[in-house]
Structure 1
Amino acid sequence: MASLTPPSPPAMKNGEFRRNWAELPPEMTLSILIRLSPIELLQNAQRVCRSWRRVCVDPSMWRKIDLRNLDGLVYDLETMCRHAVDLSQGGLLEINIDHYTTTSLLTYIAERSSDLRSLGFVECGPVVSRGVIEAVMKLPMLEELDISYDSIREQDLILVGQSCPSLRTLKLNCAGNSEYCCDKVALAIAETMPCLRHLRLFRNGLSDTGLNAILECCPHLKVLELHKCSNITLVGNMGN
């Protein structure tokens, strides 16, 4: 009768067992790799072995993409962002991008991620601002929008509110002249975003009039953050 040969023990080094990471169950490998950044996944992890690559290209790894605060890296971040969006296979739910944003990149994301729930980015010019609005108009499921900009028009926010009825969180960070972010912007928010739960305004030029309109027309608002909004006086009941 043939004898059964016991499996060889793991290789040893300095008296300790060495684990073969490629033999981990896929679900355990996924739980480890999902903690890495998109850059680490694309540039390093997927090149370790075939089993890791299979996990790295699984669409479930790309439900959330964060490509912010990457100054100093030599990679083509826009190309990498497009690749990450492709890997999501339409399942992308949350994405955060930085100043390398272009109108074409925003369009690329919107056309391939119709179920997107959260969009956050930093940008610097009116051309990209317009691209943002056009992209957001293609994202009816959007629940959170976090943008930094030089200037924004009330017409743009009206389009955002009309296109995204599920919007719950809006964060507007004005990096330019706060005079462009005035009561007209506040009224646009009040008139078209009644379901807001969380609103953050940074360097916005709204006055008590605009703030009152938001408070009256957004009854579900639970968190209101006002930073460097110097035209608000907060007198009477508003100051309590």
Structure 2
Amino acid sequence: MEDSTSIGRRWEEMNYDILAKIFQSFDILELTSGIAHVCRTWRLAACDPLLWKSKTLDLSMLKSHFIYLTDQPYVYVHSQSDKTLTKVLKIALNLSRGNIQTIIFHFNLFVSSNHLTYVAERCPRLKRLVMPAWNRIKRTEIRSAIRMWEDLESLTMPSMANSAFLMHEISRNC
């Protein structure tokens, strides 16, 4: 039986500013864990630009399940690894609304050309990027991504044969 004299508030009635302040203490995985699906107010607070400007999308804990191959692309990546990465990227980059400025990939996270393109389109203000292994990314996609990141200030990348084309794109666009 419900007590009619008790005064209580519902989760969805929490003040937006208070929610945004609470969410500022969350890391990326906590922000992308589903809090935006609680209700409309929580989603708005989870998309607050101040929440994402100072955030780094740190994916260094994600690694691909893979097998090395002798032929190009020299690696086979299990489809579940791609699905997990796609899911995390979609949630984080949609919530951030283009405000993420730093992305860190684990070296053994074999990102595809589609993943890189998705990141480039949704992170136009990217300033710092720590790249993963390049095996599955086409040169044309790397060039296209670099062209979108005019504010790029720092790029950490694994060793890459014939990387002169990359240096040329960086010098022209960043």
TM superposition score category, shorter chain reference: 0.5 to 0.7
Deviates more, 1:98-107 or 1:60-69: 60-69
Letter in 1 for 2:16: P
Quote the Cα distance in structure 2 between the aligned partners of 1:8 and 1:117.
Answer: 50
Deviations 1:65-123 (A, max 9, x none): 22221249976222320332233333332222341421122122222332222222211
Match of 2:91 among 57, 80, 83: 83
Kindly indicate whether residue 77 of structure 2 is the aligned counterpart of residue 68 of structure 1.
Answer: no
- Structure 1: which amino acid aligns with 2:120? A
Distance change in 2, residues 1:36/1:152 (3 Å): farther
Residue 111 of structure 2 contacts residue 132 of structure 2 at CA under 8 Å; is this kept in 1?
yes
2:24 to 22, 34, 41: 34
SS of 2:90's equivalent in the other structure is helix
Say which structure, 1 or 2, has more relative contact order (CA 8 Å, 6+ apart).
Answer: 2
Contact kept? 1:33, 1:56, Cα under 8 Å: yes
Q: Which has the higher strand share?
A: 1
- 1:143, distance to aligned residue in structure 2 (A): 1.3
Sort the Cα spacing of 1:47 and 1:60 in 2 relative to 1 into closer, same or farther, 3 A: same
Q: What root-mean-square deviation, in Å, do the aligned CA atoms of Structure 1 and Structure 2 show?
A: 3.2
Partner of 1:223: none
Structure-1 separation of matches of 2:92 and 2:162: 29
Given the superposition, is the C-alpha separation of residues 31 and 108 from structure 1 closer, same or farther in structure 2, using an over 3 Å criterion? Answer: same
Mapping of 1:144-155 within 5 angstroms?
144-155=154-165
Q: What SS class does the counterpart of residue 161 from structure 2 fall into?
A: coil
Give SS of 2:32's match. helix
Residues 96 and 121 in structure 1, CA contact (< 8 A), matched pair in contact too: yes
Distance 1:55 1:121 in 2: 30
Matches of residues 1-240 of structure 1 in structure 2 within 5 Å? 8=6, 25-48=15-38, 50-63=40-53, 64=55, 65-71=57-63, 76-98=84-106, 99-125=109-135, 127-128=136-137, 130=139, 131-164=141-174
1:153-211, Cα deviation, whole Å (9 max, x unpaired): 223212212221xxxxxxxxxxxxxxxxxxxxxxxxxxxxxxxxxxxxxxxxxxxxxxx
**Quick check: which has more Rg, 1 or 2?**
1
- TM-score, normalised by the number of residues in structure 2: 0.65
Q: Any stretches of 5+ residues in structure 1 without a counterpart?
A: 1-6, 11-18, 165-240
Is the 8 Å Cα contact of residues 122 and 149 (structure 1) preserved in structure 2?
no
Q: Secondary structure at the match of 2:137?
A: helix
Task: Return 5+ residue gaps in structure 2 as ranges.
Answer: 65-79
